[in-house]
Chain A
Amino acid sequence: DAKTTQPPSMDCAEGRAANLPCNHSTISGNEYVYWYRQIHSQGPQYIIHGLKNNETNEMASLIITEDRKSSTLILPHATLRDTAVYYCIAPTTDTSGTYKYIFGTGTRLKVLA
């Protein structure tokens, strides 16, 4: 299984870039990296995903290292509404064909006014 490791919490000043790291050293070549966030106890919300190349959408940017062992989610101009728990996931399929979607405990980002 491609497990991920994230810092438990981070703070970021409003208007500044928030850089959330994730280690996934056991990821295999065809496994994507996904990022979701969860605000309070709402359902998790998809942010972005990538395989090898850096990705950008209207919410965030995803930077994946060349060796694919780690990635960074960047929120370019964090707002108070970005305060949430951010999950980095590397979905995989085990030898029996079962999909593994392991959320872990994520990084609790607090954006400070």
Chain B
Amino acid sequence: EAQVTQNPRYLITVTGKKLTVTCSQNMNHEYMSWYRQDPGLGLRQIYYSMNVEVTDKGDVPEGYKVSRKEKRNFPLILESPSPNQTSLYFCASSLSRPDYNEQFFGPGTRLTVL
């Protein structure tokens, strides 16, 4: 089944403890992206990647890192999480550039930073 998977689905952590949220897609998509969703603000893009070893900042990249060493995986790294990063996170992928192709979204990761 074609899908985007994220792990973990739920995470409670403490300020400053490094964490990684994994994202994987099995559709051989070139483009992958991370979003966060907060009440009243819709989805905001954090980082995206057009292909392996090519990443770029979205609208809210501060406090996050990403890497794209393989085409299928696009992990989101929080080196020193803070409470303002408590949010619902979504990973997405598309065949190529997202203005010409639909995006497929993962199920989401709900992160709480205490």
Query: Hey, which bits of chain A sit against chain B, CB under 8 A?
Result: 31-32, 34, 36, 41-46, 49, 87, 91-93, 98-99, 101-106
Chain B residues numbered 41-86 whose CB sits less than 8 Å from any CB in chain A:
41-45, 48, 56-57, 59
Using CB atoms, name the residue of chain A closest to B105: A43
Give the number of chain B interface residues (Cβ < 8 Å).
29
Query: Hey, which bits of chain B sit against chain A, CB under 8 A?
Result: 4, 33, 35, 37, 40-45, 48, 56-57, 59, 88, 90, 92, 97-100, 102-108, 110
> Is chain B's binding surface mostly helix, strand, loop or mixed?
strand
CA distance A43 to B106 in the complex (A): 6
Inter-chain contact B90/A99, CB cutoff 8 Å: no
Inter-chain contact B99/A99, CB cutoff 8 Å: yes
Q: How far is the CB of B16 from chain A (nearest CB, A)?
A: 27
